Amino acid sequence: MKTIFDKTTRDQLIARINNLNEGCAAQWGKMDPGQMLDHCIRYEEMMLGRIKCKRSFSGLLFGRMVLKSLLKDENQIRQNMPTVPEIRIKNNFSGDIALRKEKWIALIEDCGRLPDQDFIHPFFGRMTKEQVGRLSYKHTDHHLRQFNC
């Protein structure tokens, strides 16, 4: 299974991120490339523990089951999945795409060096380092596929 902790996999994701530009059209969803970059930056910050998010009630009930289903194989995350409210991007993007890409890449590199630590996802609950690595890969891949990158 692919993981953000594998350098070759990270390098492949980074190459795909570098292909993203303002002209890329979303294959699904409502975000533009800049909004997607902001969302993914916030996601990696959450996974690194830099953004704290509240546990959801539905996550307490169903999170473990959904995580198990999501990580059981190489299948991709399906389109239009709900997201954690604290990392949902509502504003129109205004900024420098190149700077956002650099920041996302730096966060992916940071995540690749993540030490063993407790991480509690707001929906999925407590996650192992292996689960964090696989979910981070799948999330990044999901959004790059969204913009055909």
Residue 73 included in any domain: yes
Residue 98 included in any domain: yes
> Which residues, 6 or more positions from 140, have their beta carbon under 8 angstroms from its beta carbon?
4, 13, 17, 40, 108
pLDDT band for position 85 (cuts 50, 70, 90): confident
Residue 1 included in any domain: no
List the CATH number of the domain containing 65: 1.20.120
pLDDT in tens, 29-64: 989 999 999 999 999 999 988 988 999 999 899 999
Residue 94 included in any domain: yes
Burial class (CB within 10 angstroms; exposed 0-12, middle 13-18, buried 19+) of 28: exposed
Q: Among candidates 28, 4, 29, which has minimal Cα distance to 104?
A: 4
pLDDT in tens, 86-123: 898 887 766 789 999 999 999 999 988 877 777 899 99
pLDDT in tens, 1-25: 899 999 999 999 999 999 999 889 9
Residue 2 included in any domain: no
Number of domains in the chain: 1
Residue-range definition of the domain harbouring residue 91: 7-146
H or E, element range at 126: strand 125-127
Alpha helices in 1-149 (DSSP H): 7-18, 33-47, 57-71, 97-112, 129-146
Residue 75 included in any domain: yes
In this prediction the pTM is: 0.92
Residue 91 included in any domain: yes
Residue 28 included in any domain: yes
DSSP one-letter string for 83-100: --GGG---SPP-S-HHHH
